[in-house]
Structure 1
Amino acid sequence: MSASNTATLSGWRWRQHGKDDDEPWHQCSHSRPTTEIFTDLLDAKIIPDPFLDQNERDVQWVGEADWEYACDFHYEPDQNHSRQDLVFDGLDTVATVYLNGGAQILQSSNMFHRHRVDVTSKLRPGPNTLRIVFRSALHYGRELEAKHGRYRAFNGESSRLHVRKAQYHYGWDWGPLLVTCGLSGEVRLESYASRVNDVFVAAQVSDDLQEASVNVTFDAILDRDVSVDIEVVAPNGEVLRASTALGMGETQGSAVLVIPKPHLWYPVGHGPQVFYSVDVVVTGRRDQVPLHSVRRPVGVRRVRLVQQPLIDEPGTSFFFEVNNEPVYISGSNWIPNHSFLTTLTREDYASAVDLCVKGNQNMLRIWGGGIYEHDALYEECDRRGILVWQDFMFACGQYPCYPEFVASVQREAADQVKRLRQYSCIVLYAGNNEDYAVAEMLGLAWDPEDNSGDWTKTNFPARTLYETHLPAVVSEHTPGVPYHPSSPWGGKGTEDRTVGDIHQWNVWHGSQEKYQLWDKLVGRFVSEFGMLGLPAAKSISRFVTDPAQRYPQSAVLDSHNKADGSERRLALYVMENIRVDSMDLDSWVYATQLVQAECLGFAVRSCRRQWKGPGREYCGGQLVWQLNDCWPCASWSLVDFYGEQKLAYYATKRDSASLALGILRSTPELKGLTSPPPPVLGPPHDLAPKHHIFDVWAVNGTLQDVDVQIEVRLYDIASGVLREERRLDNQALLSNRTTELLEDVSVDEKTAVQAIMRNVGDGRVIARASDWPQPLKYVGLAASPDVSLSVLDGKVELRATAPVKGVQVYLSQHERNVSWEDNGVDVFPDDVYTIHAPELVKGDQVEARYYGSTC
């Protein structure tokens, strides 16, 4: 007898549905098991590339049409396989499935549902044909909206709120309107006699971490009596075994094992990423023939979301604890990595997670307007130790809650949580993105004191999803992971900085505060914040094909900037802060990226400073909006669509390092404030002289106390003369917290400050920080700071005779890519700044631009 057999369907063909019965089929030109209509139309050269120029507007008809796919597959009956299932991992979105031209076998209207269809009696020996008709999600959503009522949406048309589809397909303030359809997941034919599905290895770790109780559960489809044997292999090779017996027709099974002194999985920077290997083997009880087996790598860890009173400040903490160790979060928000997700490979996901690790990040928030991500992303996060905050897929809207919608969402949540619960990286589920903020902005009925659990009769009906249905699914299927009703959420409202998480958009959006005031904007956990910056100039040359359109204000570039009011806001932040001597494209790209880097640096430093040790976790972390792009555009991303790292990527990398320094310049009046001061009415400039002071602090994100040497130097900016130097020898930095080093040191408006952290033993530079008078546009720069570069194998050394801001190095010829480990750095006299780049060869033509030289 043979074990189960699985065949992934491929060789798909497609055509427009309903146009003409004689409409010819087009064969997919690729061999991927997943596919979608935009990529197939592109491959067939029927549409222009919507990512180039202004082609997006020329392909809108695609989303208004219906489409169909078909494929042929061979089935050979096997008397030992009593059942055949067609398994659909994802259909995007309104799909009707037909087998062999007969009656339909499946209807689906939720992209996030997974389907298993018994087709045992419907298959033919030999060739079979599967056909899937995809209705336009736009038309379908508009019909539902006409039936159930119109609800308000921020971004995209309001009909999207009725359709359980990736919401960003409808257009966002960083993404295009490209409503695709197709096979978003694999389709497989599974032939078997008996098998287990949804194997879940739930490990509950004791409070003292000395024991783990492991409950292995599974669903079963059985045509006979079976034994289910479970083997758990520890990282050191030790083996635990358990077994259970199930009778024919039973549908669920479980077994419990106890692991003494478990090997624990940790996030990056806190310990190793180790896994147990769990094998589940199904064997016929009568004949001992193997029928099916499943192998799972399992990371064992204890996770808590800690929200408890703080010392000396109001509200409660909001931080993650893994294996009893508080973990400060420096990470990013993740949007889908492409508008056409079926084009992505495992290597693409691995590269994205590698960016996080190299950028000193330890968390990705999977944002609620995209998708429950591909397994490859979570697998890589597990492997590299990147924690995951997982939103449910609701974003920026007033969602409905009628019975059919609720039923679809409940199944969606169960399908996806049961898929994702195997990943140790997931440490939080959140009900949605910003829907409570939308409720506040629209004045919807939301009484925090009403805990009835059913708000379907109010004008904020989806609260029932977020506070009743979704937490019930999480509790049932993955009880060890915390649930948070929304992001942001907590306290007296979504802007309460003392409880829960906040999205701090009062820089860029909202009141458009000066980013130098970021220390007044910190919350208990800042799960969104950002500043827009243009992509690299060489990226722009890839998607703007007409050289005449490659200037900052061109129609094409504006069409690739979806942010509302972006031209005004970006110009405001640039012009408010730095000199702009030229508006050529290279200069404008550098200017926007420098401002983005400066803003995010202020933000990260301000947040990390508030991680002050036990009972004083005043800020538990920050997540930059956003890591990535889904198409080539100007956005808040740290890395543009083509993989070019913006200056902000390097700035946040430096400020998120396990050992880092921070400096903040202020005035005594500003330092005493906990919120930004109100706008000044009257003359635009206060003529009274100001007394400036600065503080210096160090962050030790490691789990060991560290002794370091700190040097603080004050330089005249124009001349490069060293005015003052302070040394803090053998400075003890306590583990996993911030240590204040200097406070209220006087400084004038002609002086820049540099701080250097050195290893006590060998004097090696561990970290640097710098501080400049603000805004930078008023700073009297050195006339010719004499910046010099020494290009060696694998690195470039930078020197300057006066303080220089934002030195960006690049190859003068773009014939190859170079992986700069740092960039956009501040260089000071008496200090050689080394930037490593493995591909660099001595003699390469490396050039530099810096603030004052190019913008």
Structure 2
Amino acid sequence: MHTSTLTNWQYRQSGKSEWKNSRPGATTEIHPDLLYNNEISDPFIDMNEKQVQWIGETNWEYRTTFKASSASFKNNVLVFEGLDTFAKVYLNNTPILTTENMFREYRVDITQYLKPDNELLIEFESGIVKARQLEKEAGLGKLASFNGGSERLHARKAQYHYGWDWGPVLITCGPYKPVKFISYDTLIKDVYVKVDVDNLTVAKIDIQTELETDAPTKLDYIILDPEGAVIEEFTQDVSESATVSKKVTINNPQLWYPFSHGEQPLYTVQVSTTSQTITKRIGIRKVELIQESLIDQSGSSFYFKINNVPVYSTGSNWIPAHSFQTSLTAKDYSEWLQLAVNGHQNMIRIWGGGYYEQDIFYEECDRLGIMVWQDFMFACGQYPGDAKFIANVAAEAEHQLKRLRNHCCLTIYAGNNEDYQVAEQCGLEWDPSDLSGDYSHTTFPARTIYENTLPKLVQKLQSDVPYHPGSPWGGDGTADPTIGDMHQWNVWHGSQEKYQNWYKLGGRFVSEFGMEALPNRKTYEQCITDSTELYPQSETVDHHNKADGFERRLALYVIENIKVQGLDFDSWIYATQLMQAECLGYAYRCWRREWRGDGKRYNGGTIVWQINDCWPVASWSLVDFYRRPKLAYYSVKRESKPVGVGIYRYEKRDGEIVEDAKFGAAFDYRPKTFSVDIWGVNANTEDLPATLKVDIYEVATGEKLKSLPDQEVVLTGNSTTEVIKDLDIPSDKHVVVHGYFVSKGEVIASAGDWPQPLKYLKFNDRKVDFKVEDGSVSLSSDKPIKGVEILVDRDVFLQDNGFDLFPGQVHKVEAPQLKKSDKVGVRYYK
């Protein structure tokens, strides 16, 4: 057997220019190649995106050469792991392949075309011109689409390339995944280690090996436990091409858990012939989607059990981390996913408008213990559903399921992102009672894919992972908060509710919600070269914000909530980030409270939109393109900790609770009072004894008004525990309530509840004392302080930021990269 990955690619505009060398490496894309050879300006800088639109309208060619081995093999194959997207492939001037799906792998037997020296040429048609042609040929007119042009719906290509409300229009192309030349007599084409662990004390392993051979051969198997010790070693004789099943039993297996609930032991399975070894790292785990009746509410739950343990999902949505996938390295993925773990995010949702992620993504999630919600690649559109389109999708899904199914991190597959929502909002034909499975005659034909094609393939190829027809989906429409998952966009989009109403806007599982904020000033300085453009309303700053109506919406939420003293760039960045942090933290706190134990798991997960960006931009991300966390990253981290304290304040008028946040409601001058509830969160499976301490301070003076008597509590394992209900607090002045749990003499959780909106508060005579050491900053104050941000003159990762300070406590922030000599400052809300 001989395997080589083709390298030394060259590219050119189709038939019009000289060949240029691509970037060094096995895979390539046209925009990064042009940038590598200084033929274009960086589309991420200034407004250069506008100047490179011609690239997406142009056809491009790639070529390389390779030698055929002198050895005589019966089979010679070219494997194209990913071509983006509409390609015609020629080997030695002979056409051998036409492609129309960037998510599929293509294999071509080239034995009859081989020469000692070979030239491979790939012609890529413009992804947007071809999509427009397909749209016209379909004869369906312009189908409904949110974001991007309607032509994208006809292209099995990453949809965000066509532009999104956080991403640029950069329609790239190229052999973006490896192209391999394989010569063989015997080939292991696939290994699937199917795990059945319904009885957690016994794991039944079925090693299914797809073998292609022209002669009798032997398969050698080795199974290693997580410590590297051999569990079993054996040989299987195989006489012909077949899928060979070999079953093994592992007693008392070490079980894989998300990092929030246990360890991540990985077993090793090796299958070999004399010339090839395939290695799979597998985790043994059982995953279930629990949709059960609730004790005292309508609808049903929506949460996951891992190895029979209910797991509350705290996490974020993942979009592609770059506009050009080939520009990402394994290190990039590792650092991004480590940020999620550091932020106590145990689930990542791979959104349906990008691509099925690279192998390293899932390998890292296996290793780190991150559950993966995997969308199929459909987003925000009325997709076609004709036989040809469905066949193309089916081949795509089969390839991806076979590629991904050995990864224990996979927790759920969802058929699409918001396509049912599009159907609702655009009045498409959708009869939930019609379960025929064929909807080609309706204006919502892709429903056939989501409810027939995909679930059958998941059941056939990876039946241990639940399938969900879409996101959001379930109940009486996609906005039903009582059944299925929901996307809650009535804050920012929709009715533009005050975020203080999050408590009543939740559902059984909130898989999208968010709030926009500007990124770090350093990020703007990296992507904007004209220093005179570094102000909040500049044309270039606006260009790096793709959200429709962002000027009004961002101003609305900032002005409603945050005191803005001047509109200089730094102040505006801080104001938007503090507002985003308060908004998202408030949502996590309200919804996580509803994880109330067996029969009362009213909310099973909170997945924020989004963790990352694909270019330098103001967006809903927690962390900007250059991996600089916004303050919201830290507020979400604090609310996602295994042990937490929650405080919720509500207003009463004439003794009745005011249901909606209405700051200074006109002409309602009835006397008002305030009360708070306080509860504890314990994600650990064991009960935790603790002491609740509560201090109440006047905001303006910083004076402590009272401390409640210590209260001994037991925080119930894997649940929330109500501790104080309807506690009256002073209503004649602005007060902040500081609650914290102490265990064994240490503070294990802390939270402050401030009057809303924050813009009405005055902070007189405030000062933060801080001390910088190698690896940490320690901060304190003798009065309550809101939103303390540590500023360092260079990029240093801080374990906490944007936090509140209360008297009597020293807040130590770990920062391993920090040096005592670094220039460090602080700012805080005033």
Do residues 823 (structure 1) and 805 (structure 2) align?
no
* 1:612-656 C-alpha deviation (Å, 9 max, x unpaired): 111111100110100000000000000000111000000000010
Do residues 196 (structure 1) and 188 (structure 2) align?
yes
Q: Distance in 2 between matches of 1:840 and 1:216?
A: 48
Q: Is the 8 A contact 2:786 2:805 kept in 1?
A: yes
Q: Distance in 1 between matches of 2:32 and 2:754?
A: 48
* 1:298-329 C-alpha deviation (Å, 9 max, x unpaired): 11111100000011111100000000101100
Q: Who is 2:57 aligned against?
A: 64
Q: Percent identity?
A: 49
Q: Quote how far apart the aligned CAs of 1:117 are.
A: 1.3
SS at match of 1:587: helix
Q: Distance in 2 between matches of 1:843 and 1:92?
A: 48
Aligned counterpart for 1:131 among listed residues 101, 112, 121:
121
Q: Is the 8 A contact 2:256 2:264 kept in 1?
A: yes
Do residues 5 (structure 1) and 22 (structure 2) align?
no
Q: Distance in 1 between matches of 2:755 and 2:334?
A: 40
SS at match of 1:691: strand
Q: Is the 8 A contact 1:712 1:756 kept in 2?
A: yes
Q: Is the 8 A contact 2:654 2:671 kept in 1?
A: no
Q: Which amino acid aligns with 1:726?
A: L
Q: Which amino acid aligns with 1:773?
A: P
Q: Who is 2:704 aligned against?
A: 722
Q: Quote how far apart the aligned CAs of 1:727 are.
A: 4.1
Q: Who is 1:87 aligned against?
A: 79
Q: Which amino acid aligns with 1:792?
A: E
Q: Which amino acid aligns with 1:195?
A: L
Q: Which amino acid aligns with 1:789?
A: F
Aligned counterpart for 2:364 among listed residues 341, 363, 380:
380
Q: Using the TM superposition, name which of 221-230 and 133-142 deviates more.
A: 221-230
Q: Distance in 1 between matches of 2:736 and 2:137?
A: 63
Q: Who is 1:37 aligned against?
A: 30
Q: Which amino acid aligns with 1:797?
A: S
Aligned counterpart for 2:14 among listed residues 17, 26, 38:
17
Q: Which amino acid aligns with 2:121?
A: R
SS at match of 2:679: strand
SS at match of 1:98: strand
Question: Pairwise mapping of residues 558-577 of structure 1 onto structure 2 (< 5 A)?
Answer: 558-577=542-561
Q: Who is 2:749 aligned against?
A: 767
Q: Quote how far apart the aligned CAs of 1:839 are.
A: 2.3
Q: Quote how far apart the aligned CAs of 1:134 are.
A: 0.2
Q: Who is 1:735 aligned against?
A: 717
Q: Which amino acid aligns with 1:33?
A: A
Q: Is the 8 A contact 1:713 1:753 kept in 2?
A: yes
Q: Distance in 2 between matches of 1:842 and 1:393?
A: 48
Do residues 54 (structure 1) and 47 (structure 2) align?
yes
Q: Which amino acid aligns with 1:807?
A: V
Do residues 795 (structure 1) and 776 (structure 2) align?
yes
Aligned counterpart for 1:400 among listed residues 363, 384, 394:
384
Q: Quote how far apart the aligned CAs of 1:242 are.
A: 5.2
Do residues 744 (structure 1) and 736 (structure 2) align?
no
Aligned counterpart for 2:156 among listed residues 164, 168, 188:
164
Q: Is the 8 A contact 1:709 1:727 kept in 2?
A: no
Q: Which amino acid aligns with 2:754?
A: W
Aligned counterpart for 2:479 among listed residues 495, 511, 519:
495
Q: Who is 2:355 aligned against?
A: 371
* 1:192-216 C-alpha deviation (Å, 9 max, x unpaired): 2101112100101123x11111111
Q: Is the 8 A contact 1:243 1:255 kept in 2?
A: no
Aligned counterpart for 2:173 among listed residues 181, 198, 202:
181
Q: Is the 8 A contact 1:242 1:257 kept in 2?
A: no
Q: Which amino acid aligns with 1:134?
A: F
Q: Is the 8 A contact 1:391 1:429 kept in 2?
A: yes
Q: Is the 8 A contact 1:804 1:851 kept in 2?
A: yes
Q: Quote how far apart the aligned CAs of 1:684 are.
A: 3.0
SS at match of 1:473: helix
Q: Which amino acid aligns with 1:118?
A: D
Aligned counterpart for 2:817 among listed residues 828, 831, 839:
839
Q: Distance in 2 between matches of 1:728 and 1:77?
A: 82
Q: Who is 1:267 aligned against?
A: 258
Q: Hey, which bits of structure 1, 4+ residues long, moved more than 4 A?
A: 668-673, 675-680
Q: Which amino acid aligns with 1:95?
A: A
Q: Distance in 1 between matches of 2:777 and 2:246?
A: 58
Q: Is the 8 A contact 1:307 1:317 kept in 2?
A: yes
Q: Distance in 2 between matches of 1:686 and 1:565?
A: 31
Q: Quote how far apart the aligned CAs of 1:730 are.
A: 3.8
Aligned counterpart for 2:742 among listed residues 753, 758, 773:
758
SS at match of 1:35: coil
Q: List gaps (5 residues or longer) in structure 2.
A: none
Q: Which amino acid aligns with 2:6?
A: L
Q: Which amino acid aligns with 2:476?
A: K
Question: Pairwise mapping of residues 264-413 of structure 1 onto structure 2 (< 5 A)?
Answer: 264-282=255-273, 290-413=274-397
Do residues 121 (structure 1) and 103 (structure 2) align?
no
* 1:502-533 C-alpha deviation (Å, 9 max, x unpaired): 00111111111111111111100000010000
Q: Quote how far apart the aligned CAs of 1:842 are.
A: 3.0
Q: Quote how far apart the aligned CAs of 1:677 are.
A: 4.3
Q: Distance in 2 between matches of 1:693 and 1:255?
A: 63
Question: Pairwise mapping of residues 561-640 of structure 1 onto structure 2 (< 5 A)?
Answer: 561-640=545-624
Question: Pairwise mapping of residues 767-786 of structure 1 onto structure 2 (< 5 A)?
Answer: 767-779=749-761, 781-786=762-767
Q: Is the 8 A contact 2:509 2:603 kept in 1?
A: yes
Q: Distance in 2 between matches of 1:235 and 1:799?
A: 45
Q: Which amino acid aligns with 1:143?
A: Q
TM-score by length of 1: 0.94
TM-score by length of 2: 0.97
Structure 1 residues 497 and 83: alpha-carbon distance in aligned structure 2, compared to 1, 3 A threshold: same
Q: Distance in 2 between matches of 1:817 and 1:422?
A: 37
Q: Who is 2:237 aligned against?
A: 245
Q: Who is 2:223 aligned against?
A: 232
Q: Is the 8 A contact 2:256 2:266 kept in 1?
A: yes
Q: Distance in 1 between matches of 2:552 and 2:486?
A: 25
Q: Which amino acid aligns with 1:78?
A: A
Structure 1 residues 676 and 395: alpha-carbon distance in aligned structure 2, compared to 1, 3 A threshold: farther
Q: Quote how far apart the aligned CAs of 1:492 are.
A: 0.3
Q: Distance in 1 between matches of 2:397 and 2:819?
A: 52
Structure 1 residues 144 and 198: alpha-carbon distance in aligned structure 2, compared to 1, 3 A threshold: same
Q: Distance in 1 between matches of 2:224 and 2:438?
A: 46
Q: What RMSD over aligned residues (CA atoms) do the two structures have, in Å?
A: 1.7
Q: Quote how far apart the aligned CAs of 1:241 are.
A: 4.2
Q: Distance in 1 between matches of 2:130 and 2:242?
A: 36
Q: Which amino acid aligns with 2:164?
A: W
Q: Which amino acid aligns with 1:89?
A: E
Do residues 807 (structure 1) and 801 (structure 2) align?
no
Q: Is the 8 A contact 1:331 1:356 kept in 2?
A: yes
Q: Which amino acid aligns with 1:738?
A: T
Q: Is the 8 A contact 1:521 1:676 kept in 2?
A: no
Q: Distance in 2 between matches of 1:316 and 1:669?
A: 34
Structure 1 residues 771 and 670: alpha-carbon distance in aligned structure 2, compared to 1, 3 A threshold: farther
Q: Which amino acid aligns with 2:790?
A: V
Q: Distance in 2 between matches of 1:633 and 1:373?
A: 22
Q: Is the 8 A contact 1:513 1:676 kept in 2?
A: no
Q: Is the 8 A contact 1:718 1:802 kept in 2?
A: no
Aligned counterpart for 1:104 among listed residues 95, 105, 110:
95
Q: List gaps (5 residues or longer) in structure 1.
A: 283-289
* 1:687-723 C-alpha deviation (Å, 9 max, x unpaired): 2221111111111111221111221100011111111
Q: Quote how far apart the aligned CAs of 1:791 are.
A: 1.8
